[in-house]
A and B are shown apart, each in its own frame.
Chain A
């Protein structure tokens, strides 16, 4: 322990403590902007680039960034001297002087850290006038929107992309006043190895990185009398949407979410969970086939489009190991425009499928050629949890007062296995529940596989006894963890029978399209708990017991893993360049 004095308060801190953290211990708040500490996923953005947390340290010539300066024994710190306050204010003013002041119409209005800090410091005038840097905007991916004009060079996206997700798409480019964060050669994002996981969006303090919005397109479809617009909602929406309306993180709002979609004008409100159960039917079958020698092990889950794009770029030599199953919402799209259309006698070309997703990569996924049928998208639009909340607000719906309503049938029925698809470990647990019963012919007594659950470990391992066989299961969340796992598999250092990978830390509950957590990952953990709670509440907790799914196979698809199933529910992968 070392002794420090902050604003005349003496305290002891462990060695290695930053001034910022030491100040917090004695309830002194030093404003920060670029700093971000997501210790649960071992990400610390300590670039000290914004210079907003400057404080005075006795004996030091210049001011010290509190976020990146470690205390030393006998350090005397003053956080509120004239010089420190002047510097902090000036830094914010300088940032504002090179930032569009279109807050009123900005995507991040109310959610912007720069706006927040300007308000906190009481900036009422930007004393510096001058040139503003402007750059090309990029929406090439149809998923991720880059507006570098609003970049404040905090480098959080870079740290997230390079260190956590190991995709290394971003770095600073150009120099001097023109410096901005962007991809190599300033390429359009679509031409890079970006997986569109959207974790950069989750941590961007301003609107420099957001999603490509389809809100207006969805409104247009809803208002078009010729269209039959149906919605599907991913499992992770129901445990996060409430936050947008002031509800406690982890509040389950499934019923209100369904009610809101109906009031927005969707003809049918269905559940991606239904398709998740279908995914398990197909994936468990594929898994058992591979266990029986038909195909290579391990089998990798393929629900996450960001993860799929990652393996295509980074491990093109391993493209035979992911399951060929489409992701649940793509299965849903295919089912909606065939089975549902035929069953309810609605022309498929009138059906507009809107997916409400916690994800930005899903916006990219729906455009993939191999996921179209005769050139037509199976899912027409993807909107994020955040966009959905905007529509609810715009429509004047008082969300918290809505009654709880049920999904429509038949594509609204689901089991507890499907709802945990939204969290890390959930897909593999759902698959195990079904694979176990199919492989052993026995009824699974305890459906909960706690070994694959949890947020803290980026790489999880579990062993499941399947009669006399020991199944080795691997789970990775966060693409950096996925990379480590895949490298070991490629190099023959580890062996698993089945692996689940989700691109976002924690899984879809922390997807790039979810309400902003502003660095508080306790919110994400609350969402995770809520999903498991939702699972426990369900009367049916194994996908192969979903009666609506069984009925669909009987009425329409036929054999699990059969010809029609393959045509509708499976896909293939393409090797892609690293850039």
Chain B
């Protein structure tokens, strides 16, 4: 009997963490019980991106999108939808404003403005089956390139498409390929940088998990274009599922002759090896990554020479990140003009963002360049959680900066974000609301950079540490006005003086928050107050006399016994001895304790 229905279960790391593996098993069991296994297929796919509402199950061809599916719901979906042909209403997405139940994925606001190129197959195909990728036009671009195009033509297409590196720097991909092509050497390498390290960013992981062949195909095309014979995928050990699926993909591609010798019967031979990194953020920097592959310490070296001239094992090497490679095949198939028609003048195509923080719809979105921050946060992201007030959006991870509300209508592209003191980075996007302290946010990112600095150059190793110490001083209420001057000056010097991109951008969170939220810094230093009520040492706890009923609960829980008062009478906090632990605040059942 032909297959009449397919159930696609999200197998991304996020949904797996929400038990989607079990959902998959239950669906299979139930379908077997109903004796429908010959006509209904259950598949595990890559990430759908809507992690907020995972695990996700999509029923095709009915095009019904179920959210937050647990084991029980899985049983119901089989009983209702698969067996009886009735959509199981309970697990449809509910539009928060209209309370309308939406069964079609493309009608859900989260997906409405998305344009999926890099993520084109994620959530659609079984990443562990190469035939599904091939059925979705997979390896057609490679075939076209090898049989119909010269390497120069390939480079020309990529250059004209306007594709820029999606790993952070935004360097034009075609130009990079051309430089590597022009370097004379009998041996050259292609490296896929899958050392995604920005906290909160997981687009590269999702692509590797959901569509590993798109990366392999992109690498093979790059190898052909630059004249390389061998490639490495440098992926962090924290991505076991991605590694697992990559291994399957590489083996399947080898079996079909899509990797290995004389691909498509041509002279072109190319193979790929996975290199597992230990998860150091600095290894995303290309020279550090090369050192790491070579077995050395993952630390950057001075550029120039660039890897395009002197790279892995001193040979010309082209390094692109996962998302960049995933864009290659569609560009080859649909043409440079198609890709260049999407996006802004200088930033073409789409970008995947990992939307996180205080936003309703957390997840992975792929949007055309030029979309505004407001659209992403409010239309796709569904606005701020709990109806709170938007304060800032942080883009670019620890290398990026915080962008305030007045710039929400900025069209997103590489240059606009840089002009705002932030950067595209690999596409982390963390939304902050009125409860976030911007000084504390700067401190958070700087702590990350301090930990992840390779320690090689003075500016980054000691400079960032001193910046962090000044920020600590400020958030502890010990800051003085000259600390603010020092902070700015030192941040600028670290930016100007560091050896590699990590140190050159690590002060961005400090500089951008100082630029847009200087009043918060002033409040910490001059008024010894944290307006958002985050910095513990600056908090002051008060009892609101009108609300206190004298239940004594706060006094009993206070570990330092500084809350005084007789039973059934208003209590008072002796703030001199208060250690600001917040126990009273958490204990009071009458909302009588406030802090600011």
9 contacts between A and B (CB under 8 A): A83-B496, A91-B497, A94-B466, A128-B486, A153-B455, A175-B455, A176-B450, A176-B451, A177-B453
B499 pairs with A51, CB closer than 8 A: yes
Neighbouring A residues of B464 by C-beta, 8 Å: 177
**Does residue A565 face the partner (Cβ distance < 8 Å to B)?**
no
Q: A49-B499, A51-B498, A153-B456 are in contact. Are A177 and B299 (CB under 8 A)?
A: no
Neighbouring B residues of A172 by C-beta, 8 Å: 297, 299, 454-456
Kindly supply a per-residue 1/0 record for chain B positions 462-479, scoring 1 wherever the CB is within 8 Å of any chain A CB and 0 otherwise.
111110010000000000
Can you name 12 extra interface pairs (CB under 8 A) apart from A175-B453, A177-B453, A179-B454? A48-B457, A49-B457, A51-B457, A54-B497, A70-B304, A90-B493, A95-B458, A128-B486, A130-B469, A153-B458, A172-B455, A176-B455
Within 270-290 of B, Cβ neighbours of A (below 8 Å) are at 280, 282
Neighbouring A residues of B302 by C-beta, 8 Å: 46-48, 65, 68-69
**Does residue B173 face the partner (Cβ distance < 8 Å to A)?**
no
B493 pairs with A176, CB closer than 8 A: no
Interface SS of chain A: loop
A94 pairs with B304, CB closer than 8 A: no
Neighbouring B residues of A6 by C-beta, 8 Å: none
Q: A68-B302, A175-B280, A179-B461 are in contact. Are A47 and B450 (CB under 8 A)?
A: no
A interface residues (Cβ-Cβ under 8 A, vs B): 46-52, 54, 62-63, 65, 68-70, 83, 86-87, 90-91, 94-95, 97-98, 127-131, 152-153, 155, 171-172, 174-180
A177 pairs with B463, CB closer than 8 A: no
Please give me the 3 A-B residue pairs with the lowest Cβ-Cβ distance, nearest first: A179-B455, A94-B462, A130-B469
Choose among A63, A94, A171, A178 the residue that contacts B458 (Cβ–Cβ < 8 A).
Answer: A94
Interface residues on B, range: 20 to 34
Q: A94-B466, A176-B453 are in contact. Are A127 and B461 (CB under 8 A)?
A: no
B495 pairs with A131, CB closer than 8 A: no
Within 400-459 of B, Cβ neighbours of A (below 8 Å) are at 450-459
Tell me the minimal C-beta distance from A561 to chain B in angstroms.
47
Choose among B304, B454, B459, B489 the residue that contacts A51 (Cβ–Cβ < 8 A).
Answer: B459
B455 pairs with A177, CB closer than 8 A: yes
* A179 (CB) vs chain B CBs: closest residue: B455
Neighbouring B residues of A128 by C-beta, 8 Å: 462, 466, 486, 490
* B463 (CB) vs chain A CBs: closest residue: A94
B466 pairs with A130, CB closer than 8 A: yes
Within 498-526 of B, Cβ neighbours of A (below 8 Å) are at 498-499, 504
Neighbouring A residues of B282 by C-beta, 8 Å: 175
Tell me the minimal C-beta distance from A550 to chain B in angstroms.
56
Inter-chain CA distance A49–B451, complex, in Å, is 18
B461 pairs with A177, CB closer than 8 A: yes
B490 pairs with A90, CB closer than 8 A: yes
Q: A51-B459, A65-B302, A95-B462 are in contact. Are A87 and B450 (CB under 8 A)?
A: no
A63 pairs with B497, CB closer than 8 A: yes
Kindly supply a per-residue 1/0 record for chain B positions 197-221, scoring 1 wherever the CB is within 8 Å of any chain A CB and 0 otherwise.
0000000000000000000000000
Neighbouring A residues of B466 by C-beta, 8 Å: 94, 97, 128, 130
Neighbouring B residues of A52 by C-beta, 8 Å: 458
Neighbouring A residues of B463 by C-beta, 8 Å: 90, 94
Q: How many Cβ-Cβ contacts under 8 Å join chain A to chain B? A: 113
Choose among A63, A152, A155, A177 the residue that contacts B450 (Cβ–Cβ < 8 A).
Answer: A177
Interface SS of chain B: helix
A51 pairs with B497, CB closer than 8 A: yes
Tell me the minimal C-beta distance from B467 to chain A in angstroms.
9
* A181 (CB) vs chain B CBs: closest residue: B455
Inter-chain CA distance A178–B462, complex, in Å, is 10
Q: A127-B486, A176-B452 are in contact. Are A49 and B458 (CB under 8 A)?
A: yes
Inter-chain CA distance A62–B504, complex, in Å, is 8
* B299 (CB) vs chain A CBs: closest residue: A172
Inter-chain CA distance A52–B493, complex, in Å, is 12
A91 pairs with B458, CB closer than 8 A: yes
Neighbouring B residues of A179 by C-beta, 8 Å: 453-456, 461
Neighbouring B residues of A178 by C-beta, 8 Å: 455
Neighbouring B residues of A177 by C-beta, 8 Å: 450, 453, 455, 461-462, 464-465
Tell me the minimal C-beta distance from A75 to chain B in angstroms.
13
Tell me the minimal C-beta distance from B277 to chain A in angstroms.
14
Tell me the minimal C-beta distance from A149 to chain B in angstroms.
14
Inter-chain CA distance A91–B469, complex, in Å, is 17
Q: A68-B302, A171-B297, A176-B451 are in contact. Are A131 and B499 (CB under 8 A)?
A: no
Neighbouring B residues of A155 by C-beta, 8 Å: 456
Neighbouring A residues of B465 by C-beta, 8 Å: 98, 130-131, 176-177
Tell me the minimal C-beta distance from A128 to chain B in angstroms.
5
**Residue of B297, B451, B497 with most partner-chain A CB within 10 A:** B497
Neighbouring B residues of A171 by C-beta, 8 Å: 297
Neighbouring A residues of B497 by C-beta, 8 Å: 51, 54, 62-63, 87, 90-91
B495 pairs with A62, CB closer than 8 A: yes
**Residue of B282, B450, B461 with most partner-chain A CB within 10 A:** B461
Neighbouring B residues of A90 by C-beta, 8 Å: 459, 463, 489-490, 493, 497
Tell me the minimal C-beta distance from B492 to chain A in angstroms.
9
B496 pairs with A63, CB closer than 8 A: yes
Neighbouring B residues of A70 by C-beta, 8 Å: 304
Neighbouring A residues of B455 by C-beta, 8 Å: 153, 172, 174-180
Inter-chain CA distance A127–B452, complex, in Å, is 25
Tell me the minimal C-beta distance from A56 to chain B in angstroms.
9
Inter-chain CA distance A67–B319, complex, in Å, is 27
B469 pairs with A47, CB closer than 8 A: no
B458 pairs with A175, CB closer than 8 A: no
* A67 (CB) vs chain B CBs: closest residue: B302
**Residue of A50, A68, A91, A180 with most partner-chain B CB within 10 A:** A91
B454 pairs with A175, CB closer than 8 A: yes
Neighbouring B residues of A97 by C-beta, 8 Å: 462, 466
**Residue of A62, A68, A98 with most partner-chain B CB within 10 A:** A62
**Residue of A83, A90, A128, A129 with most partner-chain B CB within 10 A:** A90
Neighbouring B residues of A95 by C-beta, 8 Å: 458, 462
B469 pairs with A87, CB closer than 8 A: no
A51 pairs with B458, CB closer than 8 A: yes
A175 pairs with B462, CB closer than 8 A: no
Neighbouring A residues of B297 by C-beta, 8 Å: 171-172
* B455 (CB) vs chain A CBs: closest residue: A179
Within 334-370 of B, Cβ neighbours of A (below 8 Å) are at none
A87 pairs with B496, CB closer than 8 A: yes
Tell me the minimal C-beta distance from B330 to chain A in angstroms.
32
Neighbouring A residues of B461 by C-beta, 8 Å: 153, 176-177, 179
A50 pairs with B496, CB closer than 8 A: no
* A65 (CB) vs chain B CBs: closest residue: B302
Neighbouring A residues of B489 by C-beta, 8 Å: 86, 90
Inter-chain CA distance A83–B494, complex, in Å, is 12
* A84 (CB) vs chain B CBs: closest residue: B496
Tell me the minimal C-beta distance from B488 to chain A in angstroms.
12
Inter-chain CA distance A90–B491, complex, in Å, is 11
B459 pairs with A91, CB closer than 8 A: yes
Neighbouring A residues of B451 by C-beta, 8 Å: 175-176
* B469 (CB) vs chain A CBs: closest residue: A130
* B282 (CB) vs chain A CBs: closest residue: A175
Neighbouring B residues of A62 by C-beta, 8 Å: 495-498, 504
Tell me the minimal C-beta distance from B482 to chain A in angstroms.
10
Tell me the minimal C-beta distance from B587 to chain A in angstroms.
36
Q: A97-B462, A172-B297, A175-B280 are in contact. Are A49 and B496 (CB under 8 A)?
A: no
Choose among B280, B458, B504 the residue that contacts A50 (Cβ–Cβ < 8 A).
Answer: B458
Inter-chain CA distance A87–B457, complex, in Å, is 13
Inter-chain CA distance A54–B498, complex, in Å, is 10
Neighbouring A residues of B490 by C-beta, 8 Å: 90, 128
Inter-chain CA distance A152–B455, complex, in Å, is 10
Tell me the minimal C-beta distance from A103 to chain B in angstroms.
19
B452 pairs with A98, CB closer than 8 A: no
Tell me the minimal C-beta distance from B395 to chain A in angstroms.
19
Inter-chain CA distance A28–B533, complex, in Å, is 54
B456 pairs with A49, CB closer than 8 A: yes
